[in-house]
Amino acid sequence: MAISNFIVKPFPPLFHIQTNNYRYDYHTKKLALKSNIVCLKTNNISTTSPLFDQSRPSLFKDKDYKLSWQEEVKRAYPLEISNQNLNDDEKLQELVDKRCIDNFRMLIVDSVQHAKAGHAGMALGMAEVAYFLYRHAMRYSLTSPKWFNRDRFVLSAGHGCLLQYVCLHLASFRSVQIEDLKCLCKLGSRTPGHPENVVAQGIEVTTGPLGQGVANAVGLALAEANLNARYNKPDVAVVDHRTYCIMGDGCSMEGISNEAASLAAHWKLHKLTLIYDDNHNTIDGSTDLALSEDTSARFEALGWNTITIDNSQGNLDAFKNALISAHCETRKPTFIRVKTIIGKLSKKEGTSKAHHGTFDDDDVKQMKQKVKWEDREPFHVIPMVYREMQAQTNLGGRLEQEWHSKLNYYQNKYPEEAAEFKLLLPDGMIPGWESSLPKCSMSDPVDSTRGYSGKCLNALAKVLPGLIGGSADLASSNQAYLHNLGDFKQPDSPWGQNIRYGVREHAMGGISNGLALHGGGLIPFAATFLVFSDYMKNSVRLSALSHAGVIYILTHDSVGIGEDGPTHQPIEHLAGLRAIPHLLLFRPADGKETAGAYKVAIENRSVPSLVALSRQKVAANVEGTLADAVGKGGYIVSDNSEKELPEIILIGTGSELCLCEASANVLRKEGTRVRVVSLVCWRLFDRQPRDYKECVLPSSVSKRVSVEAGSPLGWKEYVGDEGIVMGIDDFGSSGPYSEVFNKYGFTEENVTKTAKSLLTKRSSITTQTYYIYIEIGISHSPFSSIL
């Protein structure tokens, strides 16, 4: 059953501003515009942005609440208090915000001191920014933390995790209680040393490796823009939220952030706001040690709307005005450079010593004196702070209810689009979607596994509206392109489901994680050559760590790439990627196994999958392979042993499986009992019950040969002590692919020769693992020519 794709033009923007970049003047407290043409327009459709919502009721209508705050700020700021300030709700709100931030900072200090570990410096310096986002700007719901239309927040500078943990606690998220702040960095706690999305609700993505969060945020904003264009209508918007990301100096230096920022500007992701904590410090010292560029100028050159503000004095108005300009911008993402003081309040403030570690007792005492906190116990929270934050959560609850009302209206007026949209929200899929996968037979034309992969992708795209992705400038080579579904491009085709990443593998991986974790039911794929997986290895690792169901399509998976030579021929890559916990790595042998790999990858939305595919065509679909058997990771392809055990087992993956089968046929004609096993996914096979694994690889059959044109690492576990590993422990060679395979012994003749040598050996308890590099003459090849 196919779902049609709806091409919907985006409705006119709620706000429009014709300008370039801004700089906040701290002395005049105004935004200075580099361009003096400003045009702010609104439609009849009212925005739900809290920054523009003037209808929110004041909490100070509650006289007891107001009186409690008046007493608190009198105590804290005796020199700033006057009757006018106390009775003017706007002035009082400024003082309340200031006191909330004091409390915020003291929770950070208490958490680090109690844990005797952590990174307080960045969190202390950015307290105003984080507080303002969660108290006045962001839309989120406590009753439904995964509410689809919530704003997304990403802390790319993940070492500053206390910044987010304290916000979540004060906002009353159940996932972070006071006891959780007391357990910072403790084993098994919900407050680990860097934010993990699978540990605490309210954390959108797992961050830590610097710069990754920037790419994740671009992915989240990309998901919003794409779904917005595909499903919104002129009279109703069911997709309308923003993405905020905080990054630090380290994130700015890492190349992935620049790759992702370049794409964000190219894609005109105007609902993305990147907030740069410019505190001029890294672990080793001042950023002057390694950095002299103008970061704002770089982002401006990339195509961002850039704003610089000085928050060293804690001025919330400056940040509020910067966010207003970001909300008004409709063509560019916004980069807000916030000048801060690392470790604010501490004796170490402004220095790299404040980056991490605890504070001495005298320093803590002085910090408490500065904010009039001397008589309060550790982890104290002023009771009114919770209620103050509750104002924003209440607003989020109302906005969520309004969104559900919109969704009901949408469903009544646009039932077909609504059915598709609602199917995506819970990562749902049409029943029977797997039947769309191609059915391959022995009579089909020969093709490479990358060719079979392309057919699978396009078949799936007809029934999976969430499928979206692209390649790192290799779409035609990877055969990873969704035909007739357009390229994502604003303003021409923001509904397109093909993403042009350019030569940016690392950003591609990080952005794909954002797409997968957005919650909009998107199924992202990311394609490149297997050898270039090195460029995005950290993103692949984080896919597994954060349960992001990205599908990595990595072609040119062996020395079979041929003429491009050692720089492009992957050797150690399969072994390294297989070592990543939870990652499902498939190396299919033919069309049937390729279809089977996609079935498993699509079904498993909480783990990433990697499909390694050949450039060269395989001889044919291997007789005995089964798409459904791929789910077990390894299975018997053929066996002439009947009721007896085989004398030898040949184990292969990918394009080398047909070598095993061809060799087995030769040996069988000579009277040998031979079993051929496809070990298409090691991890899935390892998860099978012991009885099943024993059935496929009987422990009593010690004579085994594995055949894979890559590193031999790891194969010993499957061939056993007396088995032989046919692998490559070199960097490959440049030449026609058939000659390269010949050089390293990957021919039918050499597999047969190796098997015979093993059959003639006596059993031994010593390990007999060999790397086969026998050079033989070019003869019959089981592979057909490369395109």
Give a yes or no: residue 114 inside a domain.
Answer: yes
296 carries a ligand binding annotation:
no
Judgement on whether residues 445 and 317 belong to the same structural domain of the protein: no
Give a yes or no: residue 20 inside a domain.
Answer: no
Note the Cα 760 to chain centre separation in Å. 51
279 carries a ligand binding annotation:
yes
What are the backbone angles phi and psi of residue 488, rounded to the nearest 5°?
-70, 120
Judgement on whether residues 257 and 155 belong to the same structural domain of the protein: yes
**pLDDT tens by residue, 253-262:** 999 999 999 9
Judgement on whether residues 518 and 551 belong to the same structural domain of the protein: yes
pLDDT at 87: 84
Judgement on whether residues 603 and 668 belong to the same structural domain of the protein: no
532 carries a ligand binding annotation:
yes
Tell me how crowded residue 337 is: count the other CB atoms within 10 A of its CB: 23
CATH number at residue 363: 3.40.50.970
209 carries a ligand binding annotation:
yes
Q: Report the share of the chain in percent with pLDDT over 90.
A: 84
327 carries a ligand binding annotation:
no
pLDDT at 426: 82
Mean pLDDT of all residues in 133-157: 96
577 carries a ligand binding annotation:
no
The answer, yes or no, to whether residue 779 has pLDDT greater than 80, is no
* Alpha-carbon distances of 123 from 306, 356, 372, 557, 732, rounded to whole Å: 23, 10, 20, 44, 49
Domain of 715? 632-760
- Among 276, 271, 249, 133, which Cα is nearest to 202's? 133
15 carries a ligand binding annotation:
no
Judgement on whether residues 246 and 160 belong to the same structural domain of the protein: yes
> In the structure, what pLDDT confidence band is assigned to residue 8 with cuts at 50, 70 and 90?
very low
> What is d(CA 539, CA 577) in angstroms, rounded to the nearest whole number?
12
Give a yes or no: residue 691 inside a domain.
Answer: yes
Q: Report the share of the chain in percent with pLDDT over 70.
A: 89
**pLDDT tens by residue, 569-608:** 999 999 999 999 999 999 999 999 999 999 999 999 999 9
pTM of the entire structure? 0.91
Contact 504/494 with Cβ under 8 angstroms? no
404 carries a ligand binding annotation:
no
User: Token pair for residue 95?
Assistant: 């003082």
CATH number at residue 694: 3.40.50.920
Judgement on whether residues 602 and 669 belong to the same structural domain of the protein: no
pLDDT at 80: 80
Give a yes or no: residue 5 inside a domain.
Answer: no
**Per the structure, how many domains does the chain have?**
3
Mean pLDDT of all residues in 422-434: 88
> What is d(CA 354, CA 363) in angstroms, rounded to the nearest whole number?
12
277 carries a ligand binding annotation:
no
Q: In 485-591, where do the E strands start and end?
A: 498-500, 523-529, 551-555, 584-586
> What is d(CA 600, CA 408) in angstroms, rounded to the nearest whole number?
34
**pLDDT tens by residue, 340-353:** 999 999 999 999 99
pLDDT at 761: 84
Judgement on whether residues 533 and 595 belong to the same structural domain of the protein: yes
Give a yes or no: residue 412 inside a domain.
Answer: no
**pLDDT tens by residue, 320-337:** 999 999 999 999 999 999
376 carries a ligand binding annotation:
no
**pLDDT tens by residue, 63-114:** 999 999 999 999 999 888 877 778 889 899 999 999 999 999 999 999 999 9
> What is d(CA 261, CA 264) in angstroms, rounded to the nearest whole number?
5
Judgement on whether residues 168 and 217 belong to the same structural domain of the protein: yes
pLDDT at 30: 43
Q: What is the DSSP string of 631-679?
A: GGS-EEEEE--TTSPPSEEEEE-GGGHHHHHHHHHHHHHTT--EEEEE-
119 carries a ligand binding annotation:
yes
* Helix, strand, or coil (residue 759): helix
| Annotated active-site residue in 224, 434, 505, 593 | 505
> What is d(CA 525, CA 496) in angstroms, rounded to the nearest whole number?
14
Judgement on whether residues 332 and 382 belong to the same structural domain of the protein: yes
582 carries a ligand binding annotation:
no
- Asked about 505 being catalytic, the answer comes back as yes
User: Token pair for residue 305?
Assistant: 């709307």
450 carries a ligand binding annotation:
yes
- Among 560, 546, 522, 540, which Cα is nearest to 610's? 540
Judgement on whether residues 576 and 658 belong to the same structural domain of the protein: no
564 carries a ligand binding annotation:
yes
**pLDDT tens by residue, 237-295:** 999 999 999 999 999 999 999 999 999 999 999 999 999 999 999 999 999 999 999 99
Give a yes or no: residue 772 inside a domain.
Answer: no
pLDDT at 57: 67
pLDDT at 314: 86
pLDDT at 780: 35
Edge-to-edge strands, sheet with 272-278: 30-33, 22-25, 305-310, 334-339, 272-278, 243-247, 152-155
Q: Is 537 exposed, middle or buried (0-12, 13-18, 19+ CB in 10 A)?
A: middle
> In the structure, what pLDDT confidence band is assigned to residue 763 with cuts at 50, 70 and 90?
low
The answer, yes or no, to whether residue 767 has pLDDT greater than 80, is no
Give a yes or no: residue 428 inside a domain.
Answer: no
Judgement on whether residues 179 and 326 belong to the same structural domain of the protein: yes
∠ CA 546-548-550, nearest 5°, is 145
**pLDDT tens by residue, 643-680:** 999 999 999 999 999 999 999 999 999 999 999 999 99
∠ CA 190-193-198, nearest 5°, is 45
**pLDDT tens by residue, 371-393:** 999 999 999 999 999 999 999 99
Judgement on whether residues 598 and 661 belong to the same structural domain of the protein: no
**pLDDT tens by residue, 503-535:** 999 999 999 999 999 999 999 999 999 999 999
Give a yes or no: residue 783 inside a domain.
Answer: no
